[in-house]
Amino acid sequence: MKKLSRRDFTTLCGSTLAIGGLFSASPNPLSASEALSDDLTSLTLLEASTRIRNRTVTSTQLTKALLARIAIYDPKVNSYVTLMATEALKQAAQLDEEAKAGKFRSPLHGIPIALKDNIDTAGTRTTAASPMFRTRVPTEDAEVVTKLVASGAVILGKVNLHEFALGCTGDVSYFGPSRNPWNLELVTGGSSAGSGAAVAADLCYGALGTDTGGSIRVPSSWCGIVGIKPTTGLVSIRGIIPCLASLDHCGPMARTVEDVALMLTELAGYDNQDPFSVQAPKQDYFKLMNQPVSSFRLGAPVEYYDHLEPEVAEIVAAAVLVLSKLTRGITSHAPLPAMPEGENFFNAIGDTAAYHEPLIKQSGMNYMPPTLGDMKSILTPATASDSSNAHYTLAMIRRHVDAAFKEIDLVVMPTTTSLPKSLKDSLKVEMSDRKPKKAYDFFDPTSGCYNTAPFDVYGVPALTLPCGFSKSGLPVGLMIAGPHFSEGKVLALAYAFQQATDWHKRKPALTPETPVPPLIEADAEPKPANS
């Protein structure tokens, strides 16, 4: 297998590389008479579900409308790696027959959903956006895919990500970086880059993302959508290519709080084949979302309001004021457990190295150049003592974090400390020879994951939703988090805020004529390979 050089990486960044072609696995399912319907693709998941139940639209119509829109807009945002058009239309037709017979599996019946491309799909390649896995085809579905299919969701395709989910920017991918639908010159956030871009650009009704340091919440924030990282173990991660398994979570990303509540209800559940799965009572999160919030006591931990860009600070301050009027009030005295020392702690856990060491022995170090640097850092040997201490530290933090919520119900803070960065500038940093190289840059104040990463360590639920827009029209996210298994309260506060505002109704101003700006300057000379 040919090793990718920095020159190869530059080429990939400048143009999307789609091995075999995005649509090559399926014939074009659209006839000339089936025009694009923005009215259908702009529906929320709940609205689409209601129309299917009322029999005013079919799953096939929704799927065809999305496929038509993807053909026009995905070349701009580069969210899909593999489009499962034929399979999706076959699923939709079967679900339409069930609907005609009055059989509806769940509120997701007939709803086209996208999957982050580190989530296994039997018979369809799952690449982790890496040359290591560019032809990898799993033989079994991930547990979350099994649950979605059982609930009647249509699997529309696999979407882009930061290679092996090892980044908060979302721009390092074998298939080229995804672009932010609000401004194609900006990063989406990572690592669930394609999930964020596809939902924001109306290329699916919802998507699954994974979150290790903020990979659901950062792209959801920067793409202006809603995303929730559930309690550790509430949603199975079996069949998902790990980033750092002890911190990995899987959760829904969609346009509204209602949509993620409906998805989470279907995704949650114990999996005795997943060592991280936990048993918890079955919940209807859509119902819990509607509980009153007037008695909620909120905390705004001051440490999460450091290092904010001025516009982010101003927008979040206005959102906090809204929340204070909806609840019993907000206190800044809400100390959360301190984080362990960054890089040494994450490396010592050893989960990433444990997955990649046998892979490297089999296939070599054939990563994208930036990830190659990450791997050299990750594979630095940790002692058995270091690993044991790291796992003990993680377990004790998770055991004691709920004590921070004795006097408050939930905490609120900015999801990210900054607005999304330039894609060109981010790629230049990725392509540079940074020393020392840090694979897990979660707690670097310049990282998009600076505010989000602690909640993966805590293992508690955390949600982001749009709370305002910058002067240049970029979305800003508000994060809401609570103790273990408080998803219902988190969703309820988010829903109350959403009802009191209209930020979630804004859409990116993409048109078929929107130009796609180049990422690499024509006269730029890429650096030679140094490995």
Catalytic residues, by residue number, are: 116, 191, 215
Six-digit token string for 63: 């799927």
| 410 neighbors 298 (Cβ within 8 angstroms) | yes
- Reference 414, options 316, 494, 333; nearest CA is 316
Torsion of CA 449, 455, 457, 459, to 10 degrees: -140
* Calpha distance 242→249 (Å, rounded): 10
* Calpha distance 369→353 (Å, rounded): 17
* Calpha distance 524→10 (Å, rounded): 10
* Calpha distance 412→464 (Å, rounded): 10
Helices (H), 338-383: 342-349, 351-363, 369-378
Give, in order, the Cα–Cα distances in Å from 271 to each of 136, 234, 431, 477.
25, 9, 40, 32
Q: Is the bond preceding 191 in cis, omega lying within 30 degrees of 0? A: yes
With 0-12 / 13-18 / 19 or more C-beta atoms within 10 angstroms meaning exposed / middle / buried, residue 392 is exposed
Question: Which residue reads 């694009």 in tokens?
Answer: 36
| 175 neighbors 163 (Cβ within 8 angstroms) | no
